[in-house]
């Protein structure tokens, strides 16, 4: 994994706004229809080109071949059956925030504003079904092989001398995929979680073997504090540590310096007044067998947490990728503010140990025009911070 040794590198979290016509085609015809496969290939080439034109250093495929950031994997596993949700069942979203702000959440649910940009029907499509584990889980590689081929082809079209240094593909962590699953096979959550890890490991390996960085998304580990009001801090930390232990089982033998670990607090457009502080889980996060860690650092609930790194030491050889632009507001950050946010981290950790990133994925969180404007502000702010750090490109 390249470091910010001669320039403060820039990246993002993964999900970018899928073109509306591609979303409609995927939802209507399915991901394996030949015309859709061709449309997907062109869309990936276009989104890679646009990231390059924006000036990002570490790019990806926008996650265009997936449904939701976590539930996409349900389409890639044998042993899972999709059923209609029973009327009056347990709500998909619950938690401490909803208990504290019931009026807000009732309003947001009624107006469809909880996740921002709701135009991507393919992204949200799987929420209408209940996924039930009925047999031993087995991974099917065809979809990730398609994603690898599309990203490889898109990168091959990039003109020589354009800025990208590396490319990554995001995947889901076992603890974030288990949320919402019904188990009719394994008999207990521990065995189900281990079954998920063993199956997902194949996807992880294929991505690294293809020469890409692997990014593991694990939003539900931090969000579990809000979701489970019965947790006290000790119980929550035991849950988080056990989740990371299983993830490390899935990553065992894979090169840490090719792995990025991303956690966030669920990224819905709500108060987030009950987010667990990063200080309570940062030491557990750093146990992940990864070379870089992506954290939310630009939204108003977590921007102050850079002070944590005055006492907590980043392990030798590791990289922190703080979000310096956010999906949580429509306001486009000024590049001067972005540079200031970056400098908060470089002054504490060293510029070579920092890559500038985003809080969370922009797809289905913010309007496409604003998402791309924020990425431009990210690149401009990184250029300012690089210049002030004495770097020249």
Rounded to two decimals, what is the model's pTM?
0.95
Q: Which fold has domain 20-388?
A: TIM Barrel (3.20.20)
Does residue 88 surpass a pLDDT of 60? Answer: no
Percent share of the chain, pLDDT over 90 = 86
d(CA 4, CA 350): 9
Does residue 89 surpass a pLDDT of 60? Answer: no
pLDDT tens digit string along 331-341?
999 999 999 99
φ, ψ dihedrals at 175, nearest 5°: -70, -20
d(CA 189, CA 194): 9
Q: What is the pLDDT of residue 305?
A: 97
Q: Where are the domains of the chain?
A: 20-388
Q: Are 355 and 321 in contact (CB under 8 A)?
A: yes
Q: What is the pLDDT of residue 162?
A: 73
DSSP label at 332?
P
Window from 66-75, 108-117, 213-222, 291-300 with minimum mean pLDDT: 108-117
Does residue 93 surpass a pLDDT of 80? Answer: no
How would residue 164 be classed by pLDDT, with cut points 50, 70 and 90?
confident
Burial of 369 (0-12, 13-18, 19+ CB in 10 A): exposed
Alpha helices in the chain (DSSP H): 20-29, 34-54, 96-100, 102-111, 121-124, 142-156, 174-177, 189-209, 220-227, 233-251, 282-285, 335-349, 368-388
Q: What is the mean pLDDT of residues 316-335?
A: 97
Q: Are 295 and 269 in contact (CB under 8 A)?
A: no
Q: What is the pLDDT of residue 122?
A: 82
Contact residues for 22 (Cβ-Cβ < 8 A; gap 6+): 36, 39, 40, 43, 64, 122
Q: Are 47 and 16 in contact (CB under 8 A)?
A: yes
Give DSSP secondary structure letters for 142-171. Answer: HHHHHHHHHHHHHHHTSPTT-S--EEEEEE
* Inter-CA distances, 45 with 35, 59, 149, 172, Å: 16, 12, 11, 23
Q: Hunting for tokens 């031993």 — which residue is that?
A: 136
Give DSSP secondary structure letters for 30-59. Answer: -TTSHHHHHHHHHHHHHHHHHHHHHT-SEE
pLDDT tens digit string along 42-59?
999 999 999 999 999 999
Does residue 141 surpass a pLDDT of 90? Answer: yes
Count the Cβ atoms, other than its own, within 10 Å of residue 3: 18
Does residue 189 surpass a pLDDT of 70? Answer: yes
d(CA 195, CA 192): 5
Does residue 361 surpass a pLDDT of 70? Answer: yes
Q: What is the pLDDT of residue 121?
A: 76
pLDDT tens digit string along 96-115?
999 999 999 999 989 888 88
Does residue 393 surpass a pLDDT of 80? Answer: no
Show the CA angle centred on residue 363, arms to residues 344 and 340, nearest 5°. Answer: 15
Q: What is the mean pLDDT of residues 309-314?
A: 97
Going edge to edge, which strands form the sheet with 182-183?
77-84, 129-139, 182-183
Q: What is the mean pLDDT of residues 371-380?
A: 98
Q: What is the pLDDT of residue 179?
A: 93
Contact residues for 131 (Cβ-Cβ < 8 A; gap 6+): 71, 74, 80, 81, 82, 83, 180, 181, 182
**Strand pairing report for 292-295 and 259-262:** parallel
Q: What is the mean pLDDT of residues 209-223?
A: 96
Q: What is the pLDDT of residue 154?
A: 97
Name the residue among 390, 355, 361, 389 with its Cα closest to residue 1: 355
φ, ψ dihedrals at 121, nearest 5°: -65, -30
pLDDT tens digit string along 226-251?
999 999 999 999 999 999 999 999 99
Q: What is the pLDDT of residue 356?
A: 98
Q: Does residue 360 sit in helix, strand or coil?
A: coil
Average pLDDT of the chain, as a whole number: 94
Does residue 91 surpass a pLDDT of 60? Answer: no
């Amino acid at each position: 994994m390249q470091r910010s040794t001669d320039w403060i590198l820039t990246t993002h979290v993964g999900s970018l706004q899928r073109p509306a016509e591609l979303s409609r085609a995927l939802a209507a015809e399915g991901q394996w229809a030949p015309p859709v496969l061709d449309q997907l290939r062109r869309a990936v080439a276009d989104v890679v080109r646009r990231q390059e034109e924006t000036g990002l250093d570490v790019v990806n495929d926008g996650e265009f071949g997936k449904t939701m950031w976590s539930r996409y994997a349900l389409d890639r596993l044998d042993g899972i059956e999709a059923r209609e949700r029973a009327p009056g069942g347990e709500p998909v979203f619950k938690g401490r925030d909803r208990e504290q702000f019931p009026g807000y959440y009732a309003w947001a649910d009624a107006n469809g504003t909880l996740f921002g940009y709701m135009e991507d029907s393919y992204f949200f499509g799987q929420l209408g079904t209940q996924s039930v584990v009925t047999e031993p889980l087995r991974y099917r590689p065809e979809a990730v092989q398609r994603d690898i081929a599309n990203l490889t082809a898109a990168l091959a079209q990039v003109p020589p001398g354009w800025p990208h240094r590396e490319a990554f593909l995001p995947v889901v962590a076992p603890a974030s995929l288990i949320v919402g699953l019904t188990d009719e096979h394994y008999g207990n959550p521990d065995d189900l979680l281990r079954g998920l890890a063993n199956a997902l490991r194949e996807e992880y390996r294929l991505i690294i073997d293809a020469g890409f960085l692997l990014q593991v998304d694990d939003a539900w580990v931090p969000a579990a504090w809000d979701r489970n009001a019965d947790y006290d801090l000790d119980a929550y930390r035991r849950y988080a540590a056990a989740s990371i232990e299983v993830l490390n089982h899935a990553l065992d033998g894979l090169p840490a310096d090719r792995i990025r670990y991303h956690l966030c607090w669920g990224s819905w457009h709500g108060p987030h007044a009950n987010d667990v502080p990063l200080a309570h889980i940062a030491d557990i996060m750093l146990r992940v067998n990864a070379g870089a860690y992506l954290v939310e650092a630009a939204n108003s609930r977590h921007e102050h947490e850079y002070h944590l790194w005055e006492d907590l030491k980043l392990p030798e050889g590791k990289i922190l990728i703080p979000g310096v632009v956010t999906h949580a507001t429509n306001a486009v950050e000024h590049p001067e503010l972005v540079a200031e946010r970056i400098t908060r981290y470089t002054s504490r950790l060293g510029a070579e140990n920092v890559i500038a990133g985003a809080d969370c994925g922009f797809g289905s969180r913010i309007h496409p025009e604003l998402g791309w404007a924020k990425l431009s502000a990210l690149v401009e702010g990184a250029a300012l911070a690089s210049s002030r750090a004495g770097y020249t490109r």
